[in-house]
Amino acid sequence: MSCPRIEVDLSKIRVNTQTVVRRLGPRGIGVTAVTKAVCGHPAIAKAILDGGALGLTDARINNVQRLRQAGITCPVTLIRTPMLSQVDEVVQFCEASYNTEIAVIAALASAAIRKDKVHGIILMVEMGDRREGILPENVAEVAQQVMTMEGVALTGIGANFACLSGIAPSASQMASLCDLANEVEGVCGPFLKTVSGGNSANLPWALGDRTTGRINDLRLGEAILLGVDPTSGDQIGGMYTDAFTLVAEVIETGVKPAPFPIALTDPTTERLRTVTSRGASARMILAMGHQDTDILGLSMPVGSTLIGATSDHLVIGTSRSMKQVGSEVRFQMNYNALMHAMAAPDIEVKLLGDPPTRLSRRAQGKVEHLALV
């Protein structure tokens, strides 16, 4: 079996999706799954849809094309503000997109008219994360401009939390987003189909004791894929945290002496050391490095310590018996490490756990729930 590789347990991803869908459903909130961390991998997307997600969203049009080419016809929304250079592709492959710029929306409208389509527009509102978003006081005005455009339809508003700032949303912020939805409807008239309250960081709020108001959608990626709360890193009860495992091969073992007393030509080298070696240590070198994943996002195996890494070598110390050359070491990953590893061209993705043999009905755009088998 080739290394490095990512082993993906599709049954665990399916169960994680079912878990959040089941918990959020009684709160009036549906789940739109984010597939950007897995580069729009079709089999993973199908497992998520089998678990009950209402649709998919991604940040990159190439990932959406990959989903479409695999036969997935469920609603897909572009989660990142479209690039002007890609509006034709966005309209062709996505039912809707999140937007913040009138110039982009106008270009989407023109592209939709050329293709005889109507493209859904969800306005992203700045609610404190300070990444993308229209200022709250300007949302109603922008919504009115969208309403005058042919080729597009205003279908919702949304907000983002805890991505750039790392701060989970407060109940007052969520209440303000609900008030904005009411304001936009009061000014523009039509009912907003989607009021998207954020991402996996919103789960503690969504599952809390307070009312969820107008929020009827969450965009979930990390919670489904890794089973953790992004803001704390804690496991979400009843969900799997090991659906993805990164496997690397040992290419050298032995005891290395303390660093030689040499002058370093690069003054940054010393700062890049993860562990300072005060004496001889038992080490293993693995055929994997910074070019493959975010090394600092790996959970070291029990008894092992991260010593350092270069572009294509990972060095770990061990307090246990040394593995032989050719043996494998397994790692769990955080979200950053997963994103980098899934995008790395030299890492194989191996599917485990009852991969679907055909497109599910939900993947084909139906709404019937498929039970876990």
Is the confidence at residue 191, as pLDDT, over 90? no
Q: Say if 61 falls within a structural domain.
A: yes
Q: What is the pLDDT of residues 5-18, one digit of tens each?
A: 999 999 999 999 99
Closest C-alpha among 284, 355, 357, 301 to residue 7: 355
Is the confidence at residue 74, as pLDDT, over 60? yes
Looking at residue 365, its pLDDT comes to 39
Mean pLDDT, rounded, for 175-199: 93
Is the confidence at residue 347, as pLDDT, over 80? yes
Shared-domain flag, residues 61 and 143: yes
Looking at residue 267, its pLDDT comes to 56
The CATH number given to whatever domain includes residue 49 is: 3.20.20.10
Q: Say if 296 falls within a structural domain.
A: yes
Domain boundary among 197, 226, 255: 226
Least confident of 79-83, 347-351, 369-373: 369-373
Mean pLDDT, rounded, for 82-98: 98
Looking at residue 130, its pLDDT comes to 83
Q: Say if 322 falls within a structural domain.
A: yes
Domain boundary among 226, 260, 277: 226
Shared-domain flag, residues 40 and 142: yes
CB atoms under 10 Å from CB of 56, counted, come to 26
Least confident of 16-20, 126-130, 354-358: 354-358
Shared-domain flag, residues 154 and 190: yes
Q: Say if 366 falls within a structural domain.
A: no
Q: What is the pLDDT of residues 297-323, one digit of tens each?
A: 999 999 899 999 999 999 999 887 888
Strand-pair category, 194-196 with 30-34: unpaired
Is the confidence at residue 271, as pLDDT, over 60? no
Q: Say if 236 falls within a structural domain.
A: no
Is the confidence at residue 268, as pLDDT, over 70? no
Mean pLDDT, rounded, for 138-162: 95
Is the confidence at residue 49, as pLDDT, over 60? yes
CA angle 136, 125, 111 (to 5 degrees): 120
Residue 320's Cβ-count burial label (10 Å; 0-12, 13-18, 19+) is: exposed
Q: How far is CA 283 from CA 288, 311, 314, in A?
A: 15, 18, 10
Q: Which residue has the higher pLDDT, 238 or 196?
A: 196
Is the confidence at residue 371, as pLDDT, over 50? no
Is the confidence at residue 364, as pLDDT, over 50? no
Shared-domain flag, residues 20 and 64: yes
Domain count, the chain: 2
> Token pair of 106, please?
């106008």
Looking at residue 350, its pLDDT comes to 96
Q: Say if 358 falls within a structural domain.
A: no
Shared-domain flag, residues 178 and 318: no
- Distance CA(58)–CA(63), nearest Å, equals 7
DSSP assignment string, 249-314: EEEEEEEEPSPP----SSTTTGGG-SS---S-EEEEEES--TTTS-GGGEEPPTTEEEEEE-SS-E
Q: Say if 176 falls within a structural domain.
A: yes
Q: Is 42 helix (H, G, I), strand (E, B) or coil?
A: helix
The CATH number given to whatever domain includes residue 315 is: 2.40.30
Residue 329's Cβ-count burial label (10 Å; 0-12, 13-18, 19+) is: buried
Shared-domain flag, residues 58 and 90: yes
pTM above 0.85, yes or no: yes
User: Would you give the distance in Å from CA 363 to the centre of its chain?
Assistant: 19
Shared-domain flag, residues 65 and 132: yes
Looking at residue 263, its pLDDT comes to 55
How many Cα atoms sit within 13 Å of 163 on the Cβ side?
Answer: 18
Q: Say if 324 falls within a structural domain.
A: yes
Mean pLDDT across the chain, nearest whole number? 89
Q: Which residue has the tokens 């649709």?
A: 55
Least confident of 213-217, 284-288, 354-358: 354-358
Shared-domain flag, residues 215 and 142: yes
Is the confidence at residue 359, as pLDDT, over 50? no
DSSP assignment string, 106-142: HHHHHHHHHTT--EEEEEEE-SSS-SS-B-HHHHHHH
Q: Is 219 helix (H, G, I), strand (E, B) or coil?
A: strand
Shared-domain flag, residues 220 and 261: no
Q: What is the DSSP letter of 25?
A: G
Mean pLDDT, rounded, for 107-134: 95
Mean pLDDT, rounded, for 201-217: 92
Domain that holds residue 252: 244-352
Q: What is the pLDDT of residues 224-267, one digit of tens each?
A: 999 999 888 889 988 999 999 999 999 999 887 766 555 555 55
Where does the pLDDT of residue 281 fall: very low under 50, low under 70, confident under 90, or very high at 90 and above? confident
Closest C-alpha among 153, 74, 142, 146 to residue 118: 153
Shared-domain flag, residues 277 and 216: no
Looking at residue 266, its pLDDT comes to 59
Where does the pLDDT of residue 369 fall: very low under 50, low under 70, confident under 90, or very high at 90 and above? very low
Question: Is the N-terminal amide bond of 136 cis, ω within 30° of 0?
Answer: no
Q: How far is CA 122 from CA 42, 102, 172, 216, in A?
A: 25, 12, 22, 13
Q: How far is CA 216 from CA 16, 17, 27, 30, 79, in A?
A: 19, 17, 8, 6, 17
Domain boundary among 193, 226, 259: 226
Shared-domain flag, residues 59 and 170: yes
Determine the length of the chain: 373
Shared-domain flag, residues 144 and 285: no
Mean pLDDT, rounded, for 271-277: 50
